[in-house]
Amino acid sequence: MKLSFSKQNLLKGINTVARAVPTHTTMPVLECIFIDASTNQITFTANDTELGISTVTNGTIVEKGTVAINARIFSDIAKKLPDDLIRMETDERNTVTITCGSVVFNIPGQSGEEFPYLPAIAKDKAVTLSQFLLKSLIEQTIFCTAPNDNNKMMQGELFEIRNGVLRIAALDGHRIALRTVALDGTPDDEKVIVPGKTLQEVARILGNDTDSKVDLFFTKNHLMFSFDSTLVVTQLIEGEYFRIQQMINCDYETKVTVSKNDFAGAIDRSTTMIRETERKPIALKIGEDVMEVSANTELGRMNDRIPATVEGEELMIGFNPKFLLDALKVVPDEMVTMYFSGSKRPLFIRDEESSYLYLILPVNMGV
Amino acid sequence: MKLSFSKQNLLKGINTVARAVPTHTTMPVLECIFIDASTNQITFTANDTELGISTVTNGTIVEKGTVAINARIFSDIAKKLPDDLIRMETDERNTVTITCGSVVFNIPGQSGEEFPYLPAIAKDKAVTLSQFLLKSLIEQTIFCTAPNDNNKMMQGELFEIRNGVLRIAALDGHRIALRTVALDGTPDDEKVIVPGKTLQEVARILGNDTDSKVDLFFTKNHLMFSFDSTLVVTQLIEGEYFRIQQMINCDYETKVTVSKNDFAGAIDRSTTMIRETERKPIALKIGEDVMEVSANTELGRMNDRIPATVEGEELMIGFNPKFLLDALKVVPDEMVTMYFSGSKRPLFIRDEESSYLYLILPVNMGV
């Protein structure tokens, strides 16, 4: 095999797939990026068997072939090469020679015969979104997954299509994130649970523009994302997802609208009074046209008064400040509206149409 | 006490002194920043008893007084306050009320009666340098100290003034850094060992311009740095420093001049072939008008050929790549000259006048 790349294209190819390389594995070949230049294009693939990413990389094929190269070393070398034409060549023992200007590397490769190809998924009926929208949907929900929870469901997100509407949900036992978006066309109904790790990687490599599209292909056991020259294939989490709809209701006793930045600033300030090891709650006190944010611990007291538009009952309620901040960080609006039903019942942060909805359980203030 | 500050001035005062606050101490008052507004200026002081920093902070004194406030909490609060006028007030129980716009903090303070003042050092005869120069001298040598070595000497730097010349030296058992600079005026001879931690803090808060000056005042047990509105007082390390002059000689068998950036790039590339846990050396092979940099491990081989101006014997010699990179990073010249005396003897990197000199011991290549 003989290939050549610009540094930029080589790095792009490596960076796109590298995060699908498992950090710990008993199969050494999985620590590799598999380079397939056996046809008339160069494909880089990494595959931890749950998540696989492949991407077509711009370069010149001088002589066709395949090779698998340790991903960490390959990435290290590529980053540190001069910004010049990079030539790559393998010999019959799969030793890879990488040349760039006066620099020569010789590193052991593998034939890649035992490298697991991505599952073949027919590209028949696609669900299409803009890359920007899918990236936003993931970023606005992913923080509510619980990556280390024993409950596998909580490590993933629900992707549900019903009547042409896509709903993405995540929950971790203390809070729920839910995003809803109407799809173009007449997509089939679907209901799958996608691993959070996959979604994080997809969000990382998706573009930021609304013009570029991403196609989703659903099968019984897999979901495939296809965009630009990249394919991401993930296994799905098996099981029945939590019945989120039952946990959500639109009744409320108190409706409060405040500036998102004022509120986030006050919460952030309140955390200076809370030792990280303690997890003390902060208090929201909702009055006639003001919401007070306060914290009171042995470190000291903090109080901030935020102008608010209030409908309904006055209220005092406690929250884990991190949960409030996490939701505020991803709410797209400058003014945020919160719905309360007393100090023991969940808070809902949502827009009028519930295109986004965050449920956060309150914390007993222990007063 | 009643004071007010702009956010910027308050943060500047806190950040200047905060690093002298010890992370672990049995004296709770040392975890504080001591605010002294008992005269007509506001001084912030922190003191871990080895290193003390005080700075005059711009602000308004409405009512004189003093207070000591936990540095971590004070700093956290100041960072997160709105960018508005910040008022600070203490009551008779030393509770500190910090107000900024709608935000109110109440935190416990201490009288600060038991806070240790900085040692009083007479400002009689100063050694004066530009802040930029002192910062450079420290940054060009400090990486050769051994902060965790049992030998206290290696944790510090030699500051020696003889015949109007300041020499700053550091060594860690594998390498030596030496900087020499002629001083203005007729300074007294001095020879002290300054803790590396102090020098790191001084370099951090010194300005970057050549117009601002810093005065050094030497006493038997202390060194004081005085610049802008800040004083840094440090204890000295007791003992006789290593006899560096005996380790240095200017004979050589091979003299090599190469581009610093080419050389550093090649070393950086070579480290991709070295596992962090292994500390294998890299090889320099000096030929007629080329220096080859290479690494050969079970991860693979790397070779780069750098154009070089060579005088004297050809040579093959091994080095810890980190030691070479550390020195190259701080060498101010674009072309760097190295002096070798065979594969078992130290490398010297220095300019013609030896205004900087780095000695690095070679590593047995085990061939």
Please report, to the nearest 10 degrees, the dihedral formed by the alpha carbons of residues B252, B255, B261, B264 taken in order.
-50
- Per-residue pLDDT of A17-57, as tens digits, reads 999 999 888 888 999 999 999 999 999 999 998 999 999 99
- Alpha-carbon gap, residue B168 to B223, rounded angstroms: 14
Q: Return the half-sphere exposure (C-beta side, CA atoms, 13 A cut-off) of residue B194.
A: 31
Lookup result for tokens 């923080």 = A143
Q: Which of B177, B347, B352 is nearest to B267 (CA)?
A: B347
Q: Which residues of chain A are modeled with pLDDT < 50? A: none
* In A131-221, beta strands by DSSP E: 156-162, 165-171, 175-182, 190-195, 213-218
Determine, for residues A80 and B265 on separate chains, whether the beta-carbon distance falls below 8 Å. yes
pTM, rounded to two decimals: 0.91
Query: What residue in B sits closest to A75 (Cα-Cα)?
Result: B272
Do B272 and A299 lie within an 8 Å CB cutoff?
Answer: no
pLDDT attached to residue A208: 87
Q: Number of residue pairs across A and B with CB atoms under 8 Å?
A: 76
Annotated domain spans of chain A: 2-108, 127-245, 248-360
Whole-complex ipTM: 0.89
Q: What is the pLDDT of residues B145-155, one digit of tens each?
A: 999 989 999 99
Chosen from A80, A99, A262 to mutate, greatest number of chain B CBs within 10 A: A80
CB contact under 8 A, A303 and B82: no
Cβ contact (<8 Å) for A104 and B302? yes
Hey, is the C-beta of B277 within 8 angstroms of any chain A C-beta?
no
Question: What letter represents residue B220's amino acid?
Answer: K
Q: Do A266 and B103 touch (CB under 8 A)?
A: yes
Q: Contact A178/A141 with Cβ under 8 angstroms?
A: yes
Asked if B296 has any chain A CB less than 8 Å from its own CB, the reply is no
- Nearest-by-Cβ selection for B106 from A106, A108, A300: A300
Of B55, B49, B16, B54, the closest CA to residue B235 belongs to B49
Query: Which is more confidently placed, A44 or B25?
Result: A44
The rounded percent of chain B whose pLDDT value lies above 90 is 90
CATH architecture of A127-245: Roll (3.10)
Report chain B residues whose CB lies below 8 A from the CB of A267.
Answer: none
Tell me, yes or no, if B306 comes closer than 8 A to chain A by beta carbon: yes
Which parts of B69-164 fold into alpha helices (H)? 71-80, 131-139
Long-range contacts of A360-366 (CB under 8 A, 24+ apart): A360/A174, A360/A175, A360/A319, A360/A320, A360/A323, A360/A324, A360/A327, A361/A174, A361/A175, A362/A317, A362/A318, A362/A319, A363/A281, A363/A318, A363/A319, A363/A320, A364/A281, A364/A318, A365/A281, A365/A283, A365/A316, A365/A317, A365/A318
Q: Which residue type is seen at A83?
A: D
pLDDT for B267 beyond 60 = yes
Whole-number pLDDT of residue A137: 97
What's the CATH code, domain B127-163+181-241? 3.10.150.10
Of B73, B269, B300, the CB nearest to A106: B300
Q: Which residues neighbour A26 within 8 Å (Cβ) at sequence distance 6 or greater?
A: none
B77: closest CA of chain A, how far (Å): 6
Probe site for chain A from B77, B91, B103, B106 (most A CB atoms < 10 A): B103
Amino acid at position A215, single letter = D
Are A76 and B272 within 8 A, CB to CB?
Answer: yes
User: What's the residue count for chain B?
Assistant: 367
**Alpha carbon of A255: minimum distance to chain B alpha carbons (Å):** 22
Six-digit token string for A306 = 């935020």
pLDDT value, residue A49: 87
The answer to whether domain A2-108 and domain A127-245 are alike in fold is yes
Instruction: Give me the residues paired with residue A61 across strands.
Output: A3
Supply the CATH classification number for the domain B248-360.
3.10.150.10
3 state SS of A166: strand
pLDDT band at B367 (very low <50, low <70, confident <90, very high): low
Whether residues B105 and A266 touch (CB distance < 8 A) is answered with: no
B2-108 CATH, one of 2.40.50.320, 3.40.50.1860, 3.10.150.10, 3.30.110.30? 3.10.150.10
Q: By three-state DSSP, how is residue B13 classified?
A: helix
Of B107, B273, B303, the CB nearest to A299: B107
Residue B169 at interface with chain A, using a CB cutoff of 8 Å? no
